[in-house]
Structure 1
Amino acid sequence: MAPSIVLTEKSSARERERGSDFSELSRRITEAGLLRRRPLYYTVRFGTVALALAGSVAAFVALGDSWGQLFVALALAVVFGQLGLAAHDLAHRQVFTRRRPSEIGGLFTADLLLGMSYGWWMNKHTRHHANPNHEEKDPDVSPDILVWSRRQARQAAGIPRFVGKHQAALFFPLLTLEGLNLSFNSFKALRGTAVKRPVLEGTLLVAHFALYFGGLFTVLSPGKALAFLAVHQGLFGIYLGSVFAPNHKGMPMIEEGTRLDFLRRQVLTSRNVRGGVLLDAFMGGLNYQIEHHLFPSMPTPALGRAQAITERYCAELGVPYHQTGLLASHREALRHLRSVGEPLRREG
């Protein structure tokens, strides 16, 4: 388990003096040409996902009212996961340098195709990038259902208190609801200030679910439609969790008052996942989480080269750089969840 970071005032001052460390890394990355846009890569990648989506819809229509549709649901779960990764890259302006085309692409992909509010998710994700694993400021580690630190466990009430006792065992079953949870929170956010265009996004979200549920209950019998929904949404949620959970879960949590310069704040709270071309495609490059957090707008195909540069630079500075395999990353995350829930189990 990775412990919470606690710095003394003396060490905090020393960290502030190192603010130029990131500038040197940025210079090396820029000189290597790793921040240049890769239009051909994204044309091929997004085109492949679009073809997969069209093929899944065609198969759905062709099969009709058949239990074979569950295989289509499985394929569509992967396609939806890839659409989520595409929306992520658009939000970070990895695809386009200008805001307008990035926003149009994000709204189309997230709201219309996925049923998730682009504005709400972007607001949430931007706050996560600014303060990863910060107990007070990172929305991804707020004690909504799970608890992420022992302090949160001691303060937990209601559902987090109940779930937190056995959250390691419940983690993957809960992920089956993540796709629906994203959609629920998207509609909920339309009433708040995070979504700048609530009417537009609300219209796109309604259009998505009208097409989604309309297609399901028009082509399939009610029982098969519900089975399709369960398989598709459940596997989609597990896919998302398998991509995002290894990145930060089980890495050091940052307490309020801790001061870290940008480079250390991003590196110490992130975990890279080793793998080959297939893992890169499965995780959309987010297995290079350290480099992604340091350079959010870096195109996906450049992250591998950036990893080697960043790891060497961190070794020069003596900054811990954590990288492990996919299964090991999940073990570390689950071990952390079990450990932080211990105070709740002791209470019975």
Structure 2
Amino acid sequence: MADSTIERAPVSPERKGSDFSQLSRRIVQEGLLDRRPVYYTVRIATVVTCFVGGWVAFALVGDSWWQILVAAFLAVVFAQMGLLAHDLAHGQVFRSRRPSRIAGHLVGNLGIGLGYGWWTDKHTRHHANPNHEDHDPDVAPDVLIWSAKQAEVSKGLPRFIGGWQAFLFFPLLTLEGLNLHISSLRALRRPTLKHRRTEAVTLIVHDLAYLGAVFAVLPVGKALVFLAVHQALFGVYLGCTFAPNHKGMPVLTGEDRLDFLRRQVLTSRNVRGGHLINTALGGLNYQIEHHLFPSMPTPNLRKAQPIVREHCASLGVEYVETGLIDSWAQAMRSLHEAGASLRGGGRSQASAG
């Protein structure tokens, strides 16, 4: 597991940003921030074709237990659509915000029931302060505990399950798809949510179409099984996609003073792998490069990696890269260590999460 100790010395004004600006100039010179319209045209066409094909298969299979296989296939497709919505939110696909937002509402809200506006706001805050206990919503102790400090002040459900949360992590992921949808609906009550009417209409249309199609084709028992399998596998896939990126890496606190480059690199982890890993994780296996350059199109992340890795080495900044299984193992170990004090074993010394 990565060293969870981060230097807490302030960065001088002259040094702040300078290390990143040098890297940024090189990336721009290489054209790695340029749009990749052909790649995204093919990717969008492929995902949409699979989405439509999955529902056509659902209609053709009809009242049969073979629908469980259709549910599994659609879970993969839903996750891939979620990854596509992620790229849209970062402005990787289109140059301007309006087409990105329209496509995001179609893919996210209407397609898979994920509130594009709510999730974009949440994810933007994560990128600004990754793995920061006070500012990153992805390490807020809503259900899981990510550090010993959070364990000490935990209450309710996080405290109840915190001691054994590593063993419960994957079972809990089966609820993640449902959790994201419920959070999207709850966000509609916020007056500050942008384009709230569009968000509401597209989410409601998704629910009516999704549930209407399932219960129109299947009897109640099979319909419920289909929904359970589909949503469970969808949640596990998404969780397995995002968990390797930061979990088990250093958690920042208000005492940490890091410049942009170090804040992004030291809290992120890359996952090694070939084309299959790239496709399955939607390019998020290049998490370090993605956090440094969020608007960089997915296929360019691989090309940026050697440049970023060389730059980090020249600065003495640790660049963490591991295999997929090992990344999950590191995340589980950090969860187990974070909840050590809740198992009656004394205060945990881990600060990773």
Pairwise TM-score range, normalised by the shorter structure: over 0.9
With normalisation by structure 2, the TM-score equals 0.96
**Partner of residue 242 from structure 1, selected from 240, 243, 248:** 240
d(CA) in 2 for partners of 1:268, 1:86: 26
Counterpart of 1:342 in structure 2 is 340
Counterpart of 2:108 in structure 1 is 110
d(CA) in 2 for partners of 1:314, 1:189: 39
Shift of 1:6: 4.8
Shift of 1:13: 3.2
1:80 is aligned to 2:98: no
Deviations 1:182-213 (A, max 9, x none): 00001111111452122221111110010011
Shift of 1:116: 1.2
Where in structure 2 are the equivalents of 1:211-226 lying within 5 Å?
211-226=209-224
d(CA) in 2 for partners of 1:317, 1:15: 17
1:16–1:186 CA distance, 2 compared to 1 (3 A): farther
d(CA) in 2 for partners of 1:199, 1:100: 16
Q: What letter is aligned with 1:84? A: G
Where in structure 2 are the equivalents of 1:122-161 lying within 5 Å?
122-161=120-159
Counterpart of 1:41 in structure 2 is 39
Counterpart of 1:270 in structure 2 is 268
Shift of 1:20: 0.3
* Ranges of 4+ aligned residues in structure 1 off by more than 6 Å: none
d(CA) in 1 for partners of 2:274, 2:14: 37
Where in structure 2 are the equivalents of 1:30-69 lying within 5 Å?
30-69=28-67
Q: Kindly indicate whether the alpha-carbon contact (under 8 Å) linking 1:15 and 1:259 is maintained by their aligned counterparts in 2.
A: no
Secondary structure in 1 matching 2:344: helix
**Partner of residue 99 from structure 1, selected from 77, 97, 100:** 97
Counterpart of 1:314 in structure 2 is 312
d(CA) in 2 for partners of 1:3, 1:288: 20
**Partner of residue 297 from structure 1, selected from 290, 295, 298:** 295
1:132–1:15 CA distance, 2 compared to 1 (3 A): farther
Secondary structure in 2 matching 1:254: coil
Q: Kindly indicate whether the alpha-carbon contact (under 8 Å) linking 2:11 and 2:258 is maintained by their aligned counterparts in 1.
A: no
**Partner of residue 233 from structure 1, selected from 231, 234, 237:** 231
Q: What letter is aligned with 2:333? A: R
Counterpart of 2:181 in structure 1 is 183
Shift of 1:96: 0.3
Q: What letter is aligned with 1:300? A: T
Tell me the percent identity.
59
d(CA) in 1 for partners of 2:13, 2:239: 33
Counterpart of 1:71 in structure 2 is 69
Give the count of matched residue pairs.
346
Q: What letter is aligned with 1:104? A: I
Deviations 1:232-286 (A, max 9, x none): 0000000000100000000000011311000000000000000000100000100
**Partner of residue 256 from structure 1, selected from 243, 254, 262:** 254
Q: Kindly indicate whether the alpha-carbon contact (under 8 Å) linking 2:290 and 2:301 is maintained by their aligned counterparts in 1.
A: yes
Shift of 1:18: 4.1
Counterpart of 2:282 in structure 1 is 284
d(CA) in 1 for partners of 2:221, 2:33: 49
Deviations 1:283-340 (A, max 9, x none): 0100000000000000000000101110011000000000000000000000000000
Counterpart of 2:202 in structure 1 is 204
Q: Kindly indicate whether the alpha-carbon contact (under 8 Å) linking 1:4 and 1:254 is maintained by their aligned counterparts in 2.
A: no
d(CA) in 1 for partners of 2:186, 2:123: 17
Gaps spanning 5+ residues in structure 2: where? 347-353
d(CA) in 2 for partners of 1:337, 1:15: 35
Q: Kindly indicate whether the alpha-carbon contact (under 8 Å) linking 2:131 and 2:138 is maintained by their aligned counterparts in 1.
A: yes
d(CA) in 2 for partners of 1:111, 1:156: 33
d(CA) in 1 for partners of 2:192, 2:288: 27
d(CA) in 1 for partners of 2:175, 2:101: 27
Q: What letter is aligned with 2:90? A: H
Q: Kindly indicate whether the alpha-carbon contact (under 8 Å) linking 1:16 and 1:261 is maintained by their aligned counterparts in 2.
A: no
d(CA) in 2 for partners of 1:93, 1:19: 22
Q: What letter is aligned with 1:151? A: K
